[in-house]
Structure 1
Amino acid sequence: MTEIRVPKLNNNDSAYTLVGWLVDDGDTVDADTPVVELETSKAVEELCSPDAGVVRHLVPAGGECAPGDLIGRVAAPGETEPGTPPTGTPRPDARAPRPGTSGPVITAPARALLDELSLDHDVVNGLDVKVVRRADVERLAAAHAPSRADASDGAVELSPAQRAVARTVETSHRTIPAAYSVIQVDVDAVLRRAAALTESLRRLVGLPEFVVCAAARLHGRFPEIFATPVDGLRLRPATAAHVGVTIDVGRGLFVPVIADASSLGIAEIVEAFTGFRRTAISGAFRERDLAGANLVVALHQDRDIVSAVPIVFPGRLCALSLAGTRREVRLDADGTATAHTVVNIGLAYDHRFVNGREATLFLQDLKDALEDPDRLAGPDGAPTTPTETRR
């Protein structure tokens, strides 16, 4: 008899909601088959069966559970099941619709947000989903939210999502003495390569994919950029470049992570971006999609944005920002005035651990790579061998 216990999924929540079982009670499954979904405050995570056998549910859909709780078992065929009670807590108000009613299951995070926004729970009945998650309520609130102005003084309350942003920003500014450097990059060549790859890969390829690729390739030469602080005097070097990218398609800001990005070619990074955009539309990111970044690339590519200072997330040392492209006329070597497409790329960094000299060298190497995209990708988007640049 093998137990299915709840792992610790993040550092933000002390309890999760069991959204639903993916297999029926008594079903026989193979090892590593997804069997149950848990929802945290930010994502939905699948748990897999640790062994092959018969799955037994101990906590119902809508139940609340904490790390370490026993929520199910996997028994070998014919094996006698012990009588140990489950440790998860059923939540009747978060389970399937009450007898005689119809409607979707509302998870605990979604229910809490409905209560926080003073919305009637019946408002979700019009959603075309079987399980209402927090992201569904956020979209519903954004589409139909009335003004939250206080009648007495006209003050406006921040949305739950903005309050979460506020907490992160406040912690960052309070605990991280950040400096900022910015460099201008000529992107004509890399945009031509991106257009060619868009046609050959039949995927949208833009400047962000190349920035991620170029930055990740610098991990070996600039390990301090990707390190994590241990305390005010020590840092822990990263063994690989795990690059987070800000994605916002109008349904909230997410920062999914491309793991070990330095080992990937442009084609693989493009596939990762494509998947991120699809998932952002549904709001169905999982904790593992959002965890582990040691460098974040913040995209600020709206028209006429010249520069933007990114937030250095607590527990990280650096963050890159990519502004919008613009046309600029300058004199070439022969004195001819020529229009070029340029962009500003900035690096915010924890000045306790990263000096201005290292930040400057990192940005210069990033610029060199982007202005010579053949160093980053072959004709089919396959990775090329990184070459040494100035140091």
Structure 2
Amino acid sequence: MTRPAPRVVETLNAALHRLFEERPALHLLGEDVLDPYGGAFKVTRGLSTRHPDRVFGTPISEAGITGVAGGLALAGDQAIVEMMFGDFAALAFDQVLNLISKSVTMYGDRVPMPVVVRCPVGGNRGYGPTHSQSLQKHFLGVPNLALYETSPFHDPYAQLAEGLDRGPAMLFEDKVLYTRRMFRDGAVDEHHGYALLGGPAGWAHVSPVDGTPADVVLICPGGTAHRGLDAARLLRARGLTAHVLVPARLYPPDLEPVLPLLAGARLVAVAEESTEGGTWGTEIAARVHTRLWSHLRAPVLLLSSADSVVPTAPHLEAGVLLGAERIAAEIEAAAARPLPPRAPAALPVAAAGTDAVAPAAGEPRAAVPESAEPLGGVPVAVPKLNNNDTAYLVLRWLADEGVHVEEGDPLVEVETSKAIEEITAPAAGYLRVRAAEDTEVGVGEPLAELLAERPAVRAPGTPVPTGPGPRVTRPESAAAPAPPPAEGPGATRTQVLDRAQQGTAAVVTRAHREVPAAFAAVEVTADAVLARLRTLSDETGAEVGLPEAVVKAVASAHPAFPHLFGSLQDERTVRLADTVDIGVTMDAGNGLYIPVLRDCAARSLADLSDDLMDFRMKAFRAEFTAGELSGGALSVSLNTEPGVLLVQPIVMWPQLCMVSVGGPLTRLVLADGVPAPTTVVTLGLAYDHRVVNGRDAVAFLRTVADALHDPEQLVKLID
């Protein structure tokens, strides 16, 4: 089995250990960095044990720590400073600005200043206003000070070594990256790969594996890299190809290796988590405009978080911080605007000895000049919303024929096999409907047009032109919202279901209508697995719990019960799954989602934990992509709150089974004749009785239960 890539925190820790072995004059200073604690985020674990005379746990004085580091450097040593949270670097700003950066050149000769200040930064952890900021922009432009940021593509050893050698430097580490896996071997996912440009501390260039040139180049430092990748996937489904650039060094930036890519794109965008104003993105935009002004099709698009402190409450935090959906939406809107023709001036040379930029990269694939109005208006086509579907049902037009809509206005609701999706206007214009309600329209087929002038009113009885899909009956759960409730004494109180709940209603109605489901349950003792999971969490730094263990146990049963992970193709044929992709229920109070964990059989518990943590945050924000909600071979309903005895799940068509997990319960059992408490959970299985019989269902549950409590199988499952 291929060993999973290390997490970012592990590569940081390994980089520090390597540097300490190679550099006998290197010291580390910080609060709570000594073993066994090993730092607030476990980056320094093991260092004080191996190098007790060079790792110093310090008082709570960021200015003092940084000043001592500067003194060590002036005395000929080297120092790495750990800020417990990057927010506290503000307290050390005077030492950074007026000591370590100025000491390099204010004594009449260049003085080595090998100091790196490490700063955990960023939000999406619920840590609140003073522990979640991205302060990179406040250190831009300080003479002699280099700025780096960790990423899932770059070896932090190269960043730290370069920072010490050219010193002084700061390394910003987005906290959301610590538990994420590094990318390696040039692979990102099935559609994207990456290459490093400009050396190990240069740029990671993520592009489609099929070589499609860039419509959009999206520059994403550090913790926004995954959001940039998610945005690229969203844009891919909407017909735009995005290449993503991730820098290892923020300042001074070296644009030479990426100039050809930037010059050839339809649009360049920079996405960062800091608030707008004086940002790293504006620095990049200024340099790109200076170098490539005659070749840019539009100004560089700058994307930042909202102008606000970072709230503690997850739903408020999600509203402030920049997310993948907003990145994709703003890029899509900017890319839809008419573009001027490309200037005929000579293209820039990327670097000495390299070829000139190729002008064809990223050109729009239009049959008419870009400055002209598209034939018949701006088309509104059906996007790819769900990998399982090739057509969707038009439920309800949200705007009337002939009205003027603005870019981004809701136009129409369509139903997929998973949910109800809202499609918005890609541009401003007068609406001309092309697909009637209650018809199915295939992916890529026209829904409407947005015209520059008001269209003629259709004669009464004139049918709306539609695609080739047949007319179908609208399900009750997708009907138009109920009229407002009557007011006054004695009026009946009502509640109108929101769109998310309507989508859930449509899916479960279909499940009940089409799947003859049965149910079985077993009780499993959980003391051993819970104890081992606590130890694993301490060892890895990942929050590994019962949900991850159950998912892994279910995946381990796949070889013995492959038909439970299949789907019915016809009345007697089951299509078996190639990989064990398992959906997990997520409900953060704004709708039920079932995102899919990929290839669960081959991945570690810590790796699955990273994805589940990401899913929980996306559930709070309601920002799942259609791809994340499709393709599961079997689902697990997580109901692990204490006291939950039993949950009977619903088989989600076209799957054949759903496992339910109850909450931990305490039972008294006899151990050597003495009553003793033990922890148990209930595992249930809802199954499609057309394919699965009760004997198989119970055998499957016992196999999963054995993996969770049998000592020998438990070791294999977790280790």
TM-score, normalised relative to structure 1: 0.66
Are 2:528 and 1:164 aligned? no
Q: 1:175/1:108 Cα in 2 relative to 1: closer, same or farther (>3 Å)?
A: same
Q: What SS does the corresponding residue of 2:512 show, helix, strand or coil? A: helix
Are 2:249 and 1:249 aligned? no
Measure, in 2, the Cα distance between the counterparts of 1:309 and 1:215: 17
Q: What SS does the corresponding residue of 1:196 show, helix, strand or coil? A: helix
After TM superposition, the structure 1 = structure 2 runs for residues 47-126 of structure 1, keeping only pairs within 5 Å, are 47=236, 49=241, 54-56=264-266, 61-62=332-333, 76-77=358-359, 84-85=367-368, 89=379, 93-95=405-407
Instruction: Give CA-to-partner distance per residue, 1:60-108, whole Å, 9 cap, x none.
Output: 945999xxxxx9xx9951689886145852797342xxxxxxxxx5565
Q: What SS does the corresponding residue of 1:89 show, helix, strand or coil? A: strand
State which structure, 1 or 2, has the greater radius of gyration over its C-alpha atoms.
2
Measure, in 2, the Cα distance between the counterparts of 1:250 and 1:82: 42
CA contact (8 A) 2:264 2:360 kept: no
CA contact (8 A) 1:35 1:46 kept: no
Q: What SS does the corresponding residue of 1:216 show, helix, strand or coil? A: helix
Measure, in 2, the Cα distance between the counterparts of 1:313 and 1:378: 30
CA contact (8 A) 1:94 1:108 kept: no
After TM superposition, the structure 1 = structure 2 runs for residues 1-391 of structure 1, keeping only pairs within 5 Å, are 31-32=207-208, 35=216, 45-47=234-236, 49=241, 54-56=264-266, 61-62=332-333, 76-77=358-359, 84-85=367-368, 89=379, 93-95=405-407, 149-151=485-487, 153-332=492-671, 334-372=672-710, 375-377=713-715, 382=719
Measure, in 1, the Cα distance between the counterparts of 2:217 and 2:509: 36
CA contact (8 A) 1:94 1:107 kept: no
Q: CA RMSD in A?
A: 3.9
Measure, in 2, the Cα distance between the counterparts of 1:233 and 1:192: 44
Give the deviation of 1:153 after TM superposition. Answer: 3.4
- Of 259-268 and 151-160, deviating more is 151-160
TM-score, normalised relative to structure 2: 0.37
CA contact (8 A) 1:228 1:316 kept: yes
Give the deviation of 1:177 after TM superposition. Answer: 0.4
Measure, in 2, the Cα distance between the counterparts of 1:60 and 1:188: 50
Give the deviation of 1:237 after TM superposition. Answer: 1.0
Q: 1:94/1:369 Cα in 2 relative to 1: closer, same or farther (>3 Å)?
A: farther
Instruction: Give CA-to-partner distance per residue, 1:120-156, whole Å, 9 cap, x none.
Output: xxxxxxxxxxxxxxxxxxxxxxxxxxx9644453333
Measure, in 1, the Cα distance between the counterparts of 2:484 and 2:217: 37
CA contact (8 A) 2:596 2:629 kept: yes
Structure 2, unpaired ranges of 5+: 1-204, 209-213, 219-232, 244-260, 268-296, 298-329, 343-356, 369-373, 381-402, 414-419, 423-482
Measure, in 1, the Cα distance between the counterparts of 2:580 and 2:602: 9
CA contact (8 A) 1:36 1:46 kept: no
Q: What SS does the corresponding residue of 1:182 show, helix, strand or coil? A: strand
CA contact (8 A) 1:321 1:346 kept: yes
- Sequence identity (%): 31
CA contact (8 A) 1:169 1:311 kept: yes
Q: What SS does the corresponding residue of 1:157 show, helix, strand or coil? A: coil
Measure, in 2, the Cα distance between the counterparts of 1:304 and 1:81: 57
Q: 1:342/1:159 Cα in 2 relative to 1: closer, same or farther (>3 Å)?
A: same
Structure 1, unpaired ranges of 5+: 1-28, 38-43, 66-70, 96-104, 116-146, 383-391
Give the deviation of 1:30 after TM superposition. Answer: 7.7
Instruction: Give CA-to-partner distance per residue, 1:163-207, whole Å, 9 cap, x none.
Output: 111111111111100000000000000110111122122222211
Q: Which has the higher contact order (CA 8 A, sep 6+)?
A: 1
Measure, in 2, the Cα distance between the counterparts of 1:83 and 1:198: 53
Q: 1:148/1:361 Cα in 2 relative to 1: closer, same or farther (>3 Å)?
A: farther
Residue type matched to 2:379 in 1?
T
Residue type matched to 1:49 in 2?
T
CA contact (8 A) 2:582 2:598 kept: yes
Give the deviation of 1:278 after TM superposition. Answer: 2.5
Q: 1:374/1:270 Cα in 2 relative to 1: closer, same or farther (>3 Å)?
A: farther
Measure, in 2, the Cα distance between the counterparts of 1:93 and 1:373: 63
1:11 alignment partner in structure 2: none
CA contact (8 A) 1:257 1:291 kept: yes
Q: What SS does the corresponding residue of 1:276 show, helix, strand or coil? A: helix
CA contact (8 A) 2:637 2:658 kept: yes
Measure, in 1, the Cα distance between the counterparts of 2:217 and 2:686: 40
Q: What SS does the corresponding residue of 1:219 show, helix, strand or coil? A: coil
Measure, in 2, the Cα distance between the counterparts of 1:300 and 1:207: 11
Measure, in 2, the Cα distance between the counterparts of 1:268 and 1:375: 19
Measure, in 2, the Cα distance between the counterparts of 1:34 and 1:366: 47
Residue type matched to 2:688 in 1?
D
CA contact (8 A) 1:62 1:92 kept: no
Q: 1:108/1:348 Cα in 2 relative to 1: closer, same or farther (>3 Å)?
A: same
Q: What SS does the corresponding residue of 2:533 show, helix, strand or coil? A: helix
CA contact (8 A) 1:227 1:237 kept: yes
Q: 1:50/1:299 Cα in 2 relative to 1: closer, same or farther (>3 Å)?
A: closer
Residue type matched to 2:359 in 1?
P
Q: 1:34/1:219 Cα in 2 relative to 1: closer, same or farther (>3 Å)?
A: farther
Q: 1:324/1:201 Cα in 2 relative to 1: closer, same or farther (>3 Å)?
A: same
Give the deviation of 1:369 after TM superposition. Answer: 0.4
Q: What SS does the corresponding residue of 1:366 show, helix, strand or coil? A: helix
Q: What SS does the corresponding residue of 1:238 show, helix, strand or coil? A: coil
Measure, in 1, the Cα distance between the counterparts of 2:542 and 2:331: 41
Measure, in 2, the Cα distance between the counterparts of 1:267 and 1:60: 33
